């Protein structure tokens, strides 16, 4: 019975950390859905966002003042990206845009370190990263409060974004732009506004993800690599599906932890780094468009 509860504990821990991955992956999906850009800089944006947030607090701003300032900053960053990187590269191939966002990631990471320095900072959200007492006592399952919060936040954001995409006029515009931006432009959808909006939203999503990750592991450069955790999530969920991201995040989180605990010891551990990628690759071989992705039919 102990084994069973231990398994549940690993599973729940994995599922909840998967929710954190989903949160990061959400920013990717948002941008990909609206502009077919695979934004490699999302991780850098997460890092920059939360670092700025902590930076503002260090400058003396209280929590509730630093938050809107950081949000404003991320909106600016998003708009600047659209203006100076994306717009000149419009209608280039996806690969070119991917490479541009790798360049963008370098810029954002560099700027963040120049402005805020390279020290590791603590971020206290008032949510303790400790197991919840009554759950640990009654069932013996250790679940962190922070993880639960992350899960709830991820769920809310996914729901909000899914509603935005499917129910609002802006959302329809977004999907139209993603489908064919020339056609969208010709029927009067304000392309530039839509893109700016998307990048700004992605910036805000990055801030939220960064705050939760920062509270867990400290605000440091390693947050950049969080984005790499989100890539397998993205692949499995399909690049264009908001709900897919949450499902895939749970799958990746759970399988990663289970693999680490049950398979890892045979290889000496540390397989968390690549196990999700292997899973993603295997997944792609069976279903190349991902779990919820759109099937792309190519004609000659």
Pick the closer one to another protein by CB: 118 or 152.
Answer: 118
Using the Cα atoms of residue 20, residue 143, residue 122 and residue 125 in order, give the sign of their dihedral: positive
Pick the closer one to another protein by CB: 169 or 298.
Answer: 298
Contacting residues toward another protein, per CB under 8 A = 38, 84-85, 88-89, 92, 94-96, 98-100, 102-111, 113-114, 117-118, 228, 231-232, 234-235, 239, 267-268, 270-271, 273-274, 277-278, 280-281, 284-285, 288, 298-300
Pick the closer one to another protein by CB: 129 or 180.
Answer: 180
Q: How far is the CB of 194 from another protein (least distance, A)?
A: 21
Pick the closer one to another protein by CB: 92 or 166.
Answer: 92
How far apart, in whole angstroms, are the C-alpha atoms of residue 177 and residue 156? 25
End-to-end Cα distance, the chain = 58
Pick the closer one to another protein by CB: 208 or 247.
Answer: 247
**C-alpha to C-alpha distances, 100 to 89, 105, 226, nearest whole angstrom:** 9, 9, 19
The closest of 126, 143, 124, 125 to 134, measured between CA atoms, is 143
How far apart, in whole angstroms, are the C-alpha atoms of residue 13 and residue 48? 27
Q: How far is the CB of 242 from another protein (least distance, A)?
A: 18
Q: How far is the CB of 208 from another protein (least distance, A)?
A: 23
Q: How far is the CB of 91 from another protein (least distance, A)?
A: 12
Pick the closer one to another protein by CB: 119 or 130.
Answer: 119
Number of H helices, E strands in the chain: 13, 0
Pick the closer one to another protein by CB: 49 or 279.
Answer: 279
**C-alpha to C-alpha distances, 198 to 20, 152, 170, nearest whole angstrom:** 21, 23, 10
Q: How far is the CB of 143 from another protein (least distance, A)?
A: 28
Q: How far is the CB of 97 from another protein (least distance, A)?
A: 9
By three-state DSSP, how is residue 219 classified? Answer: strand
How far apart, in whole angstroms, are the C-alpha atoms of residue 250 and residue 256? 10
Burial of 200 (0-12, 13-18, 19+ CB in 10 A): buried
Phi/psi class of residue 140: alpha, beta or left (left: φ > 0; alpha: ψ in -120 to 50)? left
Q: How far is the CB of 158 from another protein (least distance, A)?
A: 21
């Amino acid at each position: 019975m102990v084994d069973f509860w231990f398994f549940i504990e690993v599973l729940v821990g994995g599922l909840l950390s998967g929710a954190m991955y989903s949160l990061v992956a959400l920013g990717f999906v948002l941008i990909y859905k609206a502009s077919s850009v695979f934004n490699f800089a999302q991780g850098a944006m997460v890092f920059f966002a939360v670092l700025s947030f902590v930076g503002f607090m260090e400058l003396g701003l209280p929590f509730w003042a630093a938050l809107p300032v950081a949000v404003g900053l991320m909106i600016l960053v998003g708009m600047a990206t659209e203006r100076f990187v994306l717009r000149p590269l419009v209608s280039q191939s996806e690969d070119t845009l991917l490479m541009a966002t790798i360049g963008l990631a370098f810029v954002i990471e560099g700027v963040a370190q120049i402005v805020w320095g390279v020290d590791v900072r603590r971020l206290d959200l008032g949510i303790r990263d400790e197991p919840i007492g009554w759950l640990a006592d009654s069932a013996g399952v250790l679940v962190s409060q922070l993880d639960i919060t992350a899960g709830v936040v991820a769920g809310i954001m996914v729901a909000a974004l899914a509603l935005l995409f499917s129910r609002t006029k802006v959302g329809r515009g977004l999907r139209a732009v993603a489908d064919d931006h020339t056609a969208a432009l010709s029927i009067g959808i304000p392309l530039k506004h839509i893109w700016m909006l998307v990048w700004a939203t992605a910036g805000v999503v990055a801030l939220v993800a960064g705050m939760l990750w920062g509270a867990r592991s400290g605000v440091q450069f390693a947050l950049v690599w969080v984005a790499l955790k989100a890539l397998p999530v993205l692949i499995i969920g399909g690049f264009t599906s908001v709900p897919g991201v949450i499902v895939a995040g749970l799958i990746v989180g759970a399988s990663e932890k289970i693999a680490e605990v049950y398979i890892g010891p045979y290889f000496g551990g540390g397989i968390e780094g690549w196990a999700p990628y292997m899973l993603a690759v295997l997944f792609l071989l069976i279903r190349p468009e991902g779990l919820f992705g759109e099937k792309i039919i190519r004609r000659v």
